[in-house]
Chain A
Amino acid sequence: MSRLTQRFNYLFRSTKGLILVAIALIGLTSAFFGMLSGPMAEWGVRDVVVRLFNMDLVEAEREGRLIILYHTIAMVVVAIETYMITGLIPMTQKQQTTINATITAGYMLAVLFGLPFAYWGHNWAFHGLYVSGLVLVFFAGIMLAVALWPWSKAYRVKSPEYAHTRGGMDLERAAFFTMTITTLTSAIFGAVPGSYFGNGFQVFLAENTIRDPIKPALDLSIIGHLHIMLALIAIAATLIVGRWLDFKGRLHKLAMPFMIFGSFILALGTWLVVPFESIAHWVIYGGSTVAMLAALFMVIFAWDKLIKEGLAEKGLKKGNFFQRVAALVHDPLKFGATWQMVFMNFTVSGVGIFVAVKLDEIFRVWPWRDERYILTGHWHILSALTATILLLYYADLAGLKGKVRKWFGWGIIVMSDLAFGAVTIFEMKRFFVDEATQQPLINLTMLLADIGLGTVLLLLAVLLAWRFVDLFKKKGRWTEEINERLDSTAEVTQ
């Protein structure tokens, strides 16, 4: 019995165990429900799965099912980020335990009852429990905001290398706090229309309304909500990576006020979509530019640090260009987490800016279906890139070393970028090829995307299988991790 208790304590009471459980759940959910669409449907796998598991897929409810599916996955991602934040940012043990317990209960309820409600008939008790799960996740967010309260005198910055006010307030903590508060507020913008539309399953996908010239307030609220939630999840990931890499110094002092200001203005812009849609875009552009500058400062710091560390490992103080590049990429996990942020600019931000500039040639002329490919590709890539960043951090937490670390890291970077690069070409294909002759290009881009994503999922499966087997060992890695804290290197007085 104590063996089970020990493992339970590891999986549900330690930070690394909680992260592992959440990643495993996302992996299983993605693998299972991924069989219902795309190439899996094309190959007939979906029909087999639907029959085998006796799923109840009413055609008119497809959009509702999808919305519940990605909300449940989003809750787990938010939980993972929360575990990382409570592990990295100084707070009391009681606060950490309470927040982690609440958010775990919340996402578990959301997953365990939301998905059966969506895919196996409508048991409304399940729907109630699903909503209760979402509420608990929200409540955990409120507790996180309280724990991160940046004005608390207990958490003044001690080292002058970290961004702080004259009074010693930790500006990185303030950035985490701003991100949390704006996330909570932005969640309300989804919750209000969600309670209206969701009650009758009368939901819609925002990309389906993009060309409606007049949108009701609740539609606008949902459009603002989905954009800002993804952006804030990405901002949280950036802040987490900054803490992981011990972001500090001059760039840290520049970046943190930018991150605070950028997060707030960006969120404000998406809230303004409801009352003032016409000006909201300009506010969003302003906020996102500032937030992206903060991320750029972090990447510059990280790459400089990686180069110095890599050169030092080889006993060099200054290297030539090739030695510096080799040093930069010597640790694929740390390099990968920051490289994915740069790559995001090619596949997400760059595409967005390009189509905005070419509005007259694209969206006012192309059929809506082609516009929709860009919209859905855009946010799928943003979410998946953010997920790979968190996964690379987890691989570091799990203690991957040597060749395994290199193979895993490079596998994730190369194969995910291959997939997202291919999807970007697919979504922009109308620039290269007309409809009548597009099939070979579709075949190639889809094949590369499938190979890339398939390999990433395979690498994740191998990682999870290793951790699963490890749980059966008496002195497995889990016994070390059960009491390990995340590396919180921010120096604060407590």
Chain B
Amino acid sequence: MKKLVLIAAAIALALSACTPVDLDAPVPSYDTGVDPQAWATIPAGEFLWGQFDETQTIDYDYQMMVTNVTNAQYARFLNEALAEYAAKVENNQIIGFYPGDTFHNGRHEERIDPGDYIYIPMDDPALRLSFDGTTFAAKEDYANHPMSMVSWFGAKAYCDFYGYRLPTEMEWEKAARGTDGRPYPWGEGIARNNANFYSSHDPFEDMRSAGSRTTPAGFYNGQVYEGYVTIDSKSPYGLYDMAGNVWQWTADVYEEQHYRYMRGGSKDLYENDLRAWVSNNATPTYTSPGTGFRCVR
């Protein structure tokens, strides 16, 4: 009998790994009150860069979007870009032209030749956009969440389309941590209600099935959402979500590499990976439910 119970428990445990995840399960809907159209100015000057606080200078003012680009904003972009033939639908993907990188024959470097590259995969169930054959729209409840499942090409295309650009890693880091060398946008330590990270117990998380999900842009702004208290966690320049939620693509193209870099950590990582100097990288066609972007101008 004991053996049977043990075997049954083991089978139940194994089957739990095969449980299908309902990606369209309902999530709470909150208005954060933070305007995703807003920009913040980062003044020229010195700042502390990297884990060991090297002094660096950016000698110009620039503005960065206060939040990540949202699903609603990206849906609007796709509709406009398709209308203007700046993007097209092909093989269940939105693709667009990229002029290519100079190939340096670096170790493990892959060629990025001029051509059409993926912006978003249309058939991926993790995409929070719907398409009725002519028009894109953000899925209900996800309109104010950060756009994810977007490649580096798709992120760059959005910024370029509106006359903006992706931030360089330096611009991103200065915007995130200011000039005093803090590891997180709000200061030294991190609490669960500072940011969206792995098992941070936010109202969108479902660790039994869907795992950590995105939170709306600007969610951690000190508001209380149905009893869930957030800490106002903006950066010294007033930017939200510069730690956690989704990785953010940056602009730099480095010699001897085809990889593109991301900053900020994501909903799927532990706290220490949200420190401002931590980066991730992937091939520029990579898309993920944990990767988004914002622009600078």
Contact = CB atoms under 8 A, between A and B. Distances in A.
A60 B280 contact: no
A411 to B, nearest CB: 15
Interface string B253-295: 0111111000000001111100100001111001011100000
B28 to A, nearest CB: 18
A434 B208 CA distance: 16
Nearest to B183: A59
Given A365-B283, A367-B280, A444 B16 contact: yes
Given A59-B275, A443-B17, A366 B282 contact: yes
A41 B210 CA distance: 21
B13 interface: yes
Given A60-B52, A213-B257, A368 B280 contact: yes
B256 A214 contact: yes
A442 B198 CA distance: 12
Contact of B23 (A436, A441, A443): A436
A60 B23 contact: no
Given A364-B108, A435-B289, A436-B126, A443 B208 contact: yes
B12 to A, nearest CB: 11
Contact of B108 (A213, A439, A444): A213
Interface string A43-60: 000000000000000111
Interface in A406-458: 434-445, 447-448
A440 B21 contact: yes
A40 to B, nearest CB: 11
B106 interface: yes
A438 B211 contact: yes
A447 B13 contact: yes
Chain B interface extent, by class:
35 or more
Interface string B218-257: 0000000000000000000000000000000000001111
A368 B16 contact: no
Given A213-B109, A364-B108, A367-B288, A440 B17 contact: yes
B52 A439 contact: no
A443 B17 CA distance: 7
A297 interface: no
Interface string A447-478: 11000000000000000000000000000000
Nearest to A202: B52
A369 B282 CA distance: 9
B52 A213 contact: no
B14 interface: yes
A93 B198 CA distance: 55
Given A211-B257, A435-B126, A440 B19 contact: yes
B52 A363 contact: no
Contact of A436 (B14, B106, B184, B289): B289
Contact of B281 (A62, A200, A211, A434): A211
B183 A42 contact: no
Given A211-B257, A444-B14, A368 B23 contact: no
Contact of B110 (A211, A364, A440, A444): A364
Interface in A286-331: none
Q: Determine the main DSSP class of A at the interface with B.
A: helix
A444 B211 CA distance: 13
Interface string B46-74: 00000111000000000000000000000
Contact of A435 (B16, B270, B283, B290): B290
Contact of A364 (B23, B256, B283): B283
Given A366-B282, A440-B19, A59 B184 contact: yes
A367 B52 contact: no
A440 B282 contact: no
B106 A213 contact: yes
Interface centre among A59, A214, A363, A434, by most chain B C-beta atoms within 10 angstroms, is A59
B110 A368 contact: no
B207 interface: yes
Nearest to B287: A435
B199 interface: yes
A145 B107 CA distance: 39
Contacts of B19: 440
A403 B55 CA distance: 64
A240 to B, nearest CB: 35
Interface in B98-117: 106-110
B1 interface: no
B18 to A, nearest CB: 7
17 contacts: A41-B270, A42-B270, A59-B275, A60-B275, A62-B272, A211-B281, A213-B106, A364-B108, A364-B258, A365-B282, A369-B280, A434-B126, A436-B21, A439-B209, A440-B19, A442-B211, A444-B16
Top 7 A-B pairs ranked by shortest CB distance? A439-B211, A436-B126, A367-B282, A444-B17, A59-B183, A213-B256, A437-B21
Given A213-B257, A436-B289, 19 more contacts: A41-B270, A41-B271, A42-B198, A211-B108, A211-B281, A213-B107, A213-B108, A213-B109, A213-B256, A364-B110, A368-B281, A369-B269, A439-B208, A439-B209, A443-B207, A444-B14, A444-B16, A445-B17, A447-B13
Interface of A: 37, 41-42, 58-60, 62-63, 200, 202, 211, 213-214, 278, 359, 363-369, 434-445, 447-448
